[in-house]
Amino acid sequence: MTGKRFVKDFRISPGESIRLRDFNPSYKGKYQKHEALEKVEELRQKMSDLQQHLFAERKRSLLVVLQALDAGGKDGVIKHVIGSMNPDGCHVANFKEPTQQELAHDFLWRIEAQTPAKGEIAIFNRSHYEDVLVVRVHSLVPKAVWSQRYDLINDFERRLIQNGTHILKFFLHISKEEQLQRFDQRLDDPAKRWKISEADYSERERWDDYLRAYEDAFARCNTEDAPWFVIPADHKWFRDLAISEIIVSTMERMNFQLPQPTVDIAEIRRKYHSAAAEGKRTGKSRKRRTR
C-alpha cells in the first residue's frame, strides 16, 4: 500500500453516510508487524524533514485531530507517530472536561487558542467534536443546542482553511472486545493503572450511542478540505502506519517552498569560509616550522 492507497481506503467521501459497524477495526491488509514498524520509522524521518520545510516556509499550517472511544490509542499515536516532530513547531492540545471558565464561553473558545500558527503543526487529543459527541450522548445540553454546532464547526474549520491551515481528522476505530482487553492490560500494569476509572467501564453501556454520534459527525462535518478518516486501530502498529502514511502524503502534496536566504551567500562564503580556510592553512604551516 502507498500513502495514496491509505487515503483512498480510509477516507470518508464528503456527503457519504456510513455505519461504523461496516468497518473492520482489525483490518491490517497484507502487512506484517515487523515490516510495518520499519516503514513507520522511515515515515517518521520524512515527517520530521517535512515539518522543517513547513516551519521554514511559514505560510501554512497543519491541524491533526485525533478522536476515539476510550483506549482507542490517541496517546499512542502521539508518542509513536507525532513524537518524531520538533516541539519547537508542534504542540499537542488535550481537551478534557471543560473548566468553569471554559464553560462560561462559547464551546469553540478554548479550541481557538490552540489552533496552529503559520509554520506550525497542532495535534488535538480530543477536540471541538466532543461538543457533538459526549455532550450529545450524556445530554449535557439540549438537542436544540448541540444540533446547531455542526454548522458552527464547519464554519470554524472553513475559516482555518481560508487562513492556510490543512486539516486531517482521524477516528481511531477499535472493537468493543479490543477495548476491554486494553482495560484489562491497564489493570495488570502498575504503570498504567492510573488511567483506569469506573467511568471507562460504565461508558461501554453507551457504545452504540457513541457510534451513532460519530456517524452523524462524519456525515455533517466532512468536507474535501477537512476530511475524516476511519483508521482500523485494533492493531496498534497498523494504526501508526496508516496515520503516518496519510500525514506524510498530505505534507508532500503541500509542496513547501523554502524561502530565499536573507543574506548574500557568496559574500558569506568569501568573508568567513575563506578566512577559516586560510587560518587552517596558516596553522599547518606554523606546525611544520616548529617541528
Do 98 and 228 fall into the same domain?
A: yes
Once rounded to an integer, what is the mean pLDDT over residues 138-145?
Answer: 97
- 61-76 pLDDT, tens digit each: 999 999 999 999 999 9
Share of the chain above pLDDT 70, in %: 92
Q: Which residues contact 38 (CB under 8 A, 6 or more apart)?
A: none
Residue 170 and residue 231: Cα distance in Å, rounded? 7
How many domains are contained in the chain?
2
Instruction: Provide the pLDDT for residue 181.
Output: 96
Do 151 and 286 fall into the same domain?
A: no
Between residues 47 and 272, the one the model is more confident about:
47
Lowest model confidence (mean pLDDT) among 9-18, 26-35, 276-285: 276-285
CATH of the domain at 54: 3.40.50.300
Grid coordinates given for 76: 499512542
Do 49 and 83 fall into the same domain?
A: yes
Do 59 and 79 fall into the same domain?
A: yes
C-beta separation of 148 from 136 below 8 A: no
- 20-41 pLDDT, tens digit each: 999 999 999 999 999 999 999 9
Do 154 and 283 fall into the same domain?
A: no
Among candidate residues 99, 158, 93, 152, the one with its CA nearest the CA of residue 126: 93
Do 193 and 276 fall into the same domain?
A: no
Do 210 and 239 fall into the same domain?
A: yes
C-beta separation of 110 from 70 below 8 A: no
Do 205 and 286 fall into the same domain?
A: no
Do 226 and 290 fall into the same domain?
A: no
Its domain, for residue 48, covers: 3-259
pTM listed for this prediction:
0.91
Do 254 and 269 fall into the same domain?
A: no
Q: Which residues contact 10 (CB under 8 A, 6 or more apart)?
A: 229, 230, 231, 232, 242, 246
- 199-241 pLDDT, tens digit each: 899 999 999 999 999 999 999 999 999 999 999 999 999 999 9
Going by pLDDT thresholds of 50, 70 and 90, the confidence category of residue 276 is low
Q: If you search the block for the grid coordinates 469553540, which residue do you land on?
A: 108
Do 239 and 289 fall into the same domain?
A: no
C-beta separation of 242 from 40 below 8 A: no
Going by pLDDT thresholds of 50, 70 and 90, the confidence category of residue 289 is low
Residue 187 and residue 193: Cα distance in Å, rounded? 5
Instruction: Provide the pLDDT for residue 2.
Output: 46
Do 189 and 247 fall into the same domain?
A: yes
